[in-house]
């Protein structure tokens, strides 16, 4: 870990000079290849996608329709049954996020029954929308309707999730009904707030990135402008809107300073992630260097001083967020699943500005560890909190009173194809390694890339090029930050790697059937934390490839608390197809002790027991 941090600290981010300022030229050099163009066929991810489709979606639908009042709230709002709202003020957002997941699932697996369910929900949203475009069941049904007075009442947060769902469903099905509901709500917000109207700071960010999606879907630039206006409202003392906040300070809502001046992550972790995503999305169009500089400063602060080995962030339960630099407790780590997914969303965007693999490294770390731990192997239960140590009492649940994490995983998993490839003027970027076939447009040429690999268990990747005639382009392969030794070959002939910002660049005229072979050594690594992390002094963790490992009592029944690791431990690795859905199991030999390690994401899928990522060294208490 120390080495990892040192390497990151040494990388100086050089932004390309933005000579072009035309409005339609993105400040981002890389355009992601959408998941709709990527068919995943992978021994690691395909079973997860299958359980998402067969189990997770049904769990979410059942919770939303039957176990809680979430859908009933829309039915009641349509009938103006004032006083009868059930649940929390932000519960609408879970319905929208589940719908977004259903839309992505329909893209991967067309299903008329599921599509009919989506249409049924959308009809209920539309019926609940008020004449003036306002839509939020908690306020429509409130006895004392104090809409648009409390920054922390999540009205724009819910609207943002509705917009993300509306855009997703429109993109997948071409059906406009929900998109039109979203447009009416966005237009309503813009009649109340904006330049020359009322000031406003949404207490939970989300609307900012959603408005950029609405701009992309409709071509209406006013939504981009409104998003930028909302971002620039922050940090001027406007957030309370005259109503004093009882519980939280301005930093909690990222409202303590203007966004261009931010350098340190503070407050609520998920809100911070959505803010940074919104800033990146707006800056892509406005080329606002002040935003981009702030995001790079914030990235250093998050990744070098406030991130767990699992890619999780937000150490404190009390504010669901940050405390002090290097304060990274394991047992009480909060690491909300949504924050890890947020790290994927944000780092994906940052990578697109510059093509620097350090962002994709963090994206991969958060995805395979902090985020993936948020759902059980069978897809039926979820973690909200993801500690790096447990005394045996922390377990996944099918739902939560605040259900942001189940609905987050519901929309994240079916769209993971988004994070594999990108395209720039003269290059295809390969960021993640998983079995898939992708149709990619480079310039005016179509190319199909077919990836075969047993990643993350093995480091061998084969990438086959399918093209009519020939294609002159770079293919850029990310060399993961964890990888020290690798070889590259084209059609079996070794290539001397030219590396730029962590990518091997292969520039040639490709012909149909060309095969790139990437072979990454994937040894077990013993990692140390930054010595300023007091909690991890005298401890080591195990990582192999992108996966962080842990010990769980189920495999280490005798003397769990007495187990110790050593820098020079000997490791056996075995692929066990029958264990935890198929994993590479690691056995560490330390003197006469053996420690059985499993991937962190797979813990708490068997009988309850203790778990630890950071294990004391021999001789430590
Ligand atoms: Zn959450």
How far away, in angstroms, is 385 Cα from ligand 1 center? 8
pLDDT confidence of residue 3 = 43
Report whether pLDDT(172) > 80. yes
How far away, in angstroms, is 443 Cα from ligand 1 center? 39
H helix or E strand, kind and range, residue 616: strand 615-616
* Greater pLDDT, 224 or 19: 224
pLDDT confidence of residue 245 = 53
Answer yes or no: 446 catalytic: no
What phi and psi values does residue 540 have, to the nearest 5 degrees?
Answer: -135, 155
For the segment 600-618, the average pLDDT, to the nearest whole number, is 97
How far away, in angstroms, is 390 Cα from ligand 1 center? 19
pLDDT confidence of residue 600 = 98
First vs last C-alpha separation in the chain: 21
How far away, in angstroms, is 101 Cα from ligand 1 center? 15
Report whether pLDDT(120) > 70. yes
pLDDT confidence of residue 243 = 54
Report whether pLDDT(2) > 80. no
pLDDT confidence of residue 15 = 35
Percent of the chain, pLDDT > 70?
95
How far away, in angstroms, is 133 Cα from ligand 1 center? 28
Helix, strand, coil % (nearest 5) of the chain? 40, 20, 40
pLDDT confidence of residue 16 = 37
335, 404, 410, 483: which is the annotated catalytic residue? 404
pLDDT confidence of residue 12 = 34
* Greater pLDDT, 192 or 150: 192
pLDDT confidence of residue 24 = 56
320, 364, 452, 535: which is the annotated catalytic residue? 320
Report whether pLDDT(518) > 70. yes
Contacts of 293 (CB under 8 A, 6+ apart): 260
pLDDT confidence of residue 238 = 87
pLDDT tens figures, 42-73: 999 999 999 999 999 999 999 999 999 999 99
The beta-strand segments (E) located in 435-560 are: 436-442, 445-453, 460-467, 470-478, 486-490, 493-495, 499-500, 503-511, 515-520, 524-527, 539-544, 547-552
Answer yes or no: 320 catalytic: yes
How far away, in angstroms, is 374 Cα from ligand 1 center? 10
Percent of the chain, pLDDT > 90?
90
8 Å CB contact between 25 and 285: no
For the segment 256-267, the average pLDDT, to the nearest whole number, is 95
Report whether pLDDT(241) > 70. no
How far away, in angstroms, is 39 Cα from ligand 1 center? 28
pLDDT confidence of residue 180 = 98
Distance CA 59, CA 284 (A): 37
Report whether pLDDT(242) > 80. no
Task: Give residue 240's pLDDT band: very low, low, confident or very high (50, 70, 90).
Answer: low
How far away, in angstroms, is 341 Cα from ligand 1 center? 9
- DSSP secondary structure code for residue 310 in this structure: T
Report whether pLDDT(40) > 60. yes
Task: Give residue 308's pLDDT band: very low, low, confident or very high (50, 70, 90).
Answer: very high
pLDDT tens figures, 429-457: 999 999 999 999 998 899 999 999 999 99
Beta strand pairing call for 583-590 and 570-576: antiparallel
């Amino acid at each position: 870990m120390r080495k990892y941090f040192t390497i990151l600290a040494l990388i100086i981010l050089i932004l390309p000079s933005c000579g072009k300022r035309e409005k339609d030229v993105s400040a981002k050099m890389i355009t992601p290849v959408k998941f709709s163009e990527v068919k995943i066929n992978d021994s690691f991810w395909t079973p997860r996608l299958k359980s998402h489709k067969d189990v997770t979606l049904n769990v979410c639908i059942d919770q939303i329709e039957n176990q809680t009042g979430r859908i009933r709230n829309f039915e009641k709002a349509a009938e103006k049954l004032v006083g009868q709202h059930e649940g929390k003020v932000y519960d609408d957002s879970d319905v929208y996020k589940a719908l977004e997941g259903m839309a992505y699932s329909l893209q991967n697996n067309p299903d008329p029954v599921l599509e009919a369910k989506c249409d049924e929900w959308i009809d209920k949203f539309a019926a609940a929308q008020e004449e003036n475009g306002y839509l939020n069941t908690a306020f429509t049904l409130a006895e004392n309707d104090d809409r648009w007075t409390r920054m922390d009442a999540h009205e724009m947060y819910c609207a943002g999730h509705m917009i993300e769902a509306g855009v997703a469903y429109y993109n997948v099905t071409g059906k406009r009904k929900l998109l039109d509901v979203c447009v009416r709500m966005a237009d309503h917000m813009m009649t109340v707030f904006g330049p020359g109207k009322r000031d406003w700071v949404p207490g939970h960010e989300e609307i900012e990135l959603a408005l950029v999606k609405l701009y992309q879907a409709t071509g209406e630039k006013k939504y981009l402008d409104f998003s930028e206006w909302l971002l620039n409202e922050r940090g001027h003392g406007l957030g309370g809107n005259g109503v004093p906040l009882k519980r939280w300070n301005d930093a909690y809502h990222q409202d303590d300073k203007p966004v261009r001046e931010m350098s340190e992550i503070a407050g609520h972790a998920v809100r911070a992630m959505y803010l940074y995503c919104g800033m990146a999305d707006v800056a892509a169009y406005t080329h606002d260097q002040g935003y981009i500089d702030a995001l790079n400063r914030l990235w250093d602060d998050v990744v070098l001083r406030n991130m767990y080995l699992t890619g999780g962030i937000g150490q404190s339960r009390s504010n669901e967020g940050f405390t002090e630099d290097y304060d990274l407790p394991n047992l009480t780590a909060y690491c909300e699943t949504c924050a890890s997914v947020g790290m994927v969303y944000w780092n994906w965007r940052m990578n697109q500005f510059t093509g620097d693999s350090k962002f994709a490294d963090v994206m991969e770390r958060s995805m395979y560890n902090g985020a993936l731990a948020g759902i059980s192997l069978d897809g039926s239960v979820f973690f909200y909190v993801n500690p790096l140590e447990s005394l045996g009492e922390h377990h996944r649940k099918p739902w939560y009173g605040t259900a942001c994490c189940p609905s987050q995983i519901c929309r994240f998993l079916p769209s993971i194809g988004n994070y594999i490839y990108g395209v720039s003027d003269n290059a295809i970027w390969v960021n993640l390694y998983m079995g898939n076939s992708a149709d990619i447009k480079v310039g005016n040429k179509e190319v199909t890339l077919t990836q075969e690999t047993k990643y993350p268990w093995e480091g061998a990747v084969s990438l086959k090029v399918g093209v009519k005639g020939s294609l002159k382009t770079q293919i850029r392969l990310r060399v993961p930050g964890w990888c020290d030794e690798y070889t590259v070959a084209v059609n079996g002939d070794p290539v001397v790697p030219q590396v730029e910002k962590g990518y091997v660049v292969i520039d040639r005229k490709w012909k149909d059937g060309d095969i790139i072979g990437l072979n990454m050594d994937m040894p077990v690594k013993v990692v140390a934390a930054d010595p300023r992390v007091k909690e991890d002094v005298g401890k080591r963790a195990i990582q192999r490839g992108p996966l962080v490992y842990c010990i769980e009592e189920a495999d280490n029944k005798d003397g769990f608390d007495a187990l110790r690791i050593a820098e020079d431990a000997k490791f056996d690795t075995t692929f066990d197809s029958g264990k935890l859905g198929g994993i590479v199991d690691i056995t560490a030999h330390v003197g006469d002790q053996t420690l059985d390690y499993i991937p962190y994401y797979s813990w708490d899928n068997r009988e309850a027991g203790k778990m630890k990522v950071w294990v004391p060294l021999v001789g430590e208490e």
